[in-house]
Structure 1
Amino acid sequence: MKHARPLPNYLLQRYHGWKATSFAENRSWYRKLADEGQRPRAMVISCCDSRVHVTSIFGADSGEFFIHRNIANLVPPYEPDGDHHGTSAAVEYAVTVLKVSHLLVLGHSQCGGVKGCLDMCKGDAPELEVKESFVGRWMDILKPKYDKVADLPDNVAQERALEKEAVLTSLDNLMSFPFVEERVASGELGLHGLWTDIGEGGLQVYDPARGEFLAV
């Protein structure tokens, strides 16, 4: 592959530092993971945003979380049409093969994908409206929720509300997957909606009884 290039030096240095410290100190654990396979108790669906560091937030070690990341932590509805569905495939594997006990959808503040969706709904992002925009067509999943936030007083309030609607949209769409619905109904799988404030380090969890996100 002629277009591939060597890693930049700073990444090589960080790798060698990890190998000499964290890996060396936990060599038996990594060997156990390699020999016995993964048995994560939870799957986390989070945003691609580089500021969202799932393992750090929960202090997780290697092998604890099955993690899938995409733009705006969205799950599409169940559509077995034969096309490529990376998120749906990850959910299927986690639920039917790994049999995770918990599935967390983690949204966050200042989400660029959600802001793009909001701009698109207001007619301020023509570049996302074109058929060829992968981001725009992905954010079509969230567009129907714009009506729920349109009357809020300003852009910031609308963005924060739509970020949380993205989490709820994903939870609703997860229940359209038959294998998810079956395990939720049997009590074998718990769905959890979360939102984190990047600047404050805060975490909120959706409370279905109250219909709102509450700080933990």
Structure 2
Amino acid sequence: MKRFPVPLLNGYRNFMSGRYVDERERYRVLADQGQKPHTLIVACCDSRAAPETIFDAGPGELFVVRNVANMVPPYEPDGQYHSTSAALEFAVQALRVRDIIVMGHGRCGGIRAALDPSAEPLSPGDFIGKWMNLVSTAAEQIQGNSVMTDSERQTALERISIRNSIANLRTFPCVKILEERGKLQLHGAWFDISNGELWIMDPDTRDFVRLDK
């Protein structure tokens, strides 16, 4: 029998002797009464950009769905499997979150792949290639900008992708209706892995503004 990863076993033991001891009562209440997170965060799978760590959140505070490049697809009730859409529907209709944040980050591998049309698919099925088609139009426009550097193009698409996902959120009837009623707010954020900076999207101008530490 293959052994469970040792670093995870050690991490679990540290958790049980540390944080769990401090928050034992909170876990008991969550187990008895269920979760009531106030915010849904759509984040990237990237191991360097965990929302719970970035926002110093405790158990039960955030409902997090993570996928490659933190994208929200448009509303497509076509009978296929839609994990991000299912999580969104559950968060909005069952958990009744008050805020939805689409949080991107710097140096995103999925965005880099979208900007490089010559990149080889990661697998024969190339799920990532299909998924990144969500930003293919924007990627093609940015690729043709010779004035920008590679890193500038990368950052630009990372932020444009956030705006696209927020637009796609509004194609979901449950989101659109609640936002219009003032019961749900949509936000964009971008995290710089290299220096820990968090940039928030202004809801009016859609510019990203650095948050003071």
- Give TM-score, length-normalised by structure 1: 0.92
Out of 10, 15, 19, the residue aligned to residue 18 of structure 1 is 15
Q: Which amino acid aligns with 1:94?
A: A
Deviations 1:129-161 (A, max 9, x none): x98210000000111112442314221110000
Structure 1: tracts of 5 or more residues without a match: none
Out of 80, 83, 87, the residue aligned to residue 83 of structure 1 is 80
Alignment of 1:99-118 (within 5 A): 99-118=96-115
Query: What is the rounded CA distance, in whole Å, between the counterparts of 1:159 and 1:99 in structure 2?
Result: 34
Partner of 2:135: 142
Partner of 2:187: 192
Q: CA deviation at 1:11?
A: 1.5
Partner of 2:200: 205
Query: What is the rounded CA distance, in whole Å, between the counterparts of 2:142 and 2:116 in structure 1?
Result: 13
1:157 corresponds to 2:172: no
Which portions of structure 1, spanning 4 or more consecutive aligned residues, are displaced by more than 4 angstroms?
Answer: none
* 8 A Cα contact 2:40 2:99, kept in partner: yes
Query: What is the rounded CA distance, in whole Å, between the counterparts of 2:205 and 2:165 in structure 1?
Result: 19
* 8 A Cα contact 1:52 1:108, kept in partner: yes
1:125 corresponds to 2:125: no
Query: What is the rounded CA distance, in whole Å, between the counterparts of 1:6 and 1:59 in structure 2?
Result: 31
Which secondary structure does the structure 2 equivalent of 1:141 belong to? helix
Indicate how the Cα distance of structure 1 residues 136 and 163 shifts in structure 2: closer, same or farther if over 3 A, else same. Answer: same
Number of matched residues?
A: 209
Deviations 1:69-96 (A, max 9, x none): 0000001100000010000000000000
What RMSD over aligned residues (CA atoms) do the two structures have, in Å? 1.5
Kindly, what percent of the aligned residue pairs are identical? 39
Query: What is the rounded CA distance, in whole Å, between the counterparts of 1:47 and 1:188 in structure 2?
Result: 26
Structure 2: tracts of 5 or more residues without a match: none
Query: What is the rounded CA distance, in whole Å, between the counterparts of 1:211 and 1:39 in structure 2?
Result: 29
Alignment of 1:158-173 (within 5 A): 158-173=153-168
Q: Which amino acid aligns with 1:69?
A: R
Indicate how the Cα distance of structure 1 residues 131 and 144 shifts in structure 2: closer, same or farther if over 3 A, else same. Answer: farther
- Give TM-score, length-normalised by structure 2: 0.93
